[in-house]
Amino acid sequence: MSKVRSPSDFTDINVNYAIGNGHYTTHTDVSNLLQISAFSDTTTPTRAEVGKIIKRVEEKIDDSIKQSFRPIIHHEEFYSFDGWNKGSYPVQPYRDYVGFIQLSQPKIQKLVRLEVWQGDRYVDLASATARLTLPASVTNGAWTISLTAGTYTFNLVEGTHFYDNFGSSTTASQLSDAINERFPAKTARFTGETARKTLKDTTNTVSISDFFYATVDSENGDTVVISSLLLGNDGSNCNITSTFGTIESFTGNQDSGRTRDFWQMKKEGKIFFYQEYPHVTNHSIRVAYVAGDGRVPAPIHEAATKFVAAEVIRHDDNSIMIAETESNIDLKTKHDILLEEANKIIDGKKNIIHFIT
């Protein structure tokens, strides 16, 4: 059974780690649990420092239970299509699919790409995608690439958000990292960058990685493939312009449904192919998707708050914020109790896989 919602769910979600607000808890919940004054920009630790702890704790929880309650992009998952296992003998109940794949994560929020190998190239069956093929030589000129989603416009400027100093393959990697707002690990040693890339829209309201996902084309290293993260084919209304290069505009690829190209059981993370076989060869299917539960259950909120509180206690060497008196539990005992209780909650939420032979 799957719950849509519960009155106990944590719903105070306004994520901004810089001011101490996360997906699973907030700095206010932590200070309330510790019964101390609220964290601020001048306390030790500050709200921003508590926000960093919250971010680490959320990842720790996700890794521990093998599931996330945040929207996380998973990419380049390869699957093989075993068509010979789908025959009509022995007699089996009717199937409205010729085969399926089981993704590594449940609770699929958005199928970003469902790429099927066609013998000489991958064909995307999901979402809406655009392509930008870069010039063969360095441009040495003012270069702006604009992506538009609804009322939001994101301008990637050469020399600020990406660098075109070494050739099309390096530039393609730079653009992919800029759109995904991540550290340019492959190219930083060439460009000298020391921090992850960030880009807000022209009104400084939202981030580009909330709307788009980009990769370098695996078959053509001079081409950037950009997918919309809007639901279904809504991304076909997005636009792309570029001072240089060749553009293929956003095109809706998705034809999903019970009697169409494919259909999904999103909760379980299954994708069923209705009647068209992908190539019967190894690694013929490549998938990128956003996964994460749509609700944060109360136990996850409680565990996150206790993990963060324990971390704050551990770093409060001078007992500046957290008082310790003879009549109360000492700080070490508080730390150990919080950690023990949080771990017990997480142990009870871990996904268990049963193998039946």
Instruction: State the pLDDT at residue 161.
Output: 96
pLDDT number for residue 245: 94
* Residue 87: per-residue pLDDT: 47
Is 317 exposed, middle or buried (CB count within 10 Å of its CB: 0-12, 13-18, 19+)? exposed
pLDDT, residue 279, reads: 63
Query: Cβ-count burial of 338 within 10 angstroms (0-12 exposed, 13-18 middle, 19+ buried)?
Result: buried
pLDDT, residue 261, reads 76
- Is the link from the previous residue into 90 a cis peptide, with omega within 30 of 0? yes
Helices (H), the chain: 27-34, 47-65, 168-180, 188-191, 298-315, 331-349
Q: What is the DSSP letter of 26?
A: B
pLDDT at 319: 47
Single-letter code of the amino acid located at 15: V
Predicted local distance difference test score (pLDDT) of residue 42: 93
Looking at residue 140, what is its pLDDT?
77
All structural domains of the chain with their residue ranges: 17-69+294-349, 73-289
For the four alpha carbons of 339, 344, 345 and 349, in that order, the dihedral sign comes to positive
Distance from C-alpha of 53 to C-alpha of 304, rounded to nearest angstrom = 10
The pTM score is 0.84
Check residue 96 and give its pLDDT.
67
User: Given this model, what pLDDT does residue 320 score?
Assistant: 46
Quote the DSSP letter at residue 224: E
The series of mean pLDDT values per 10 residues for the chain, 357 residues long, is: 79 92 96 93 94 96 91 91 53 65 90 87 88 89 94 96 94 97 96 95 95 94 95 92 95 76 85 72 88 91 95 69 58 83 83 46
Three-class DSSP category at 116: strand
Element spanning 288, H or E:
strand 285-291
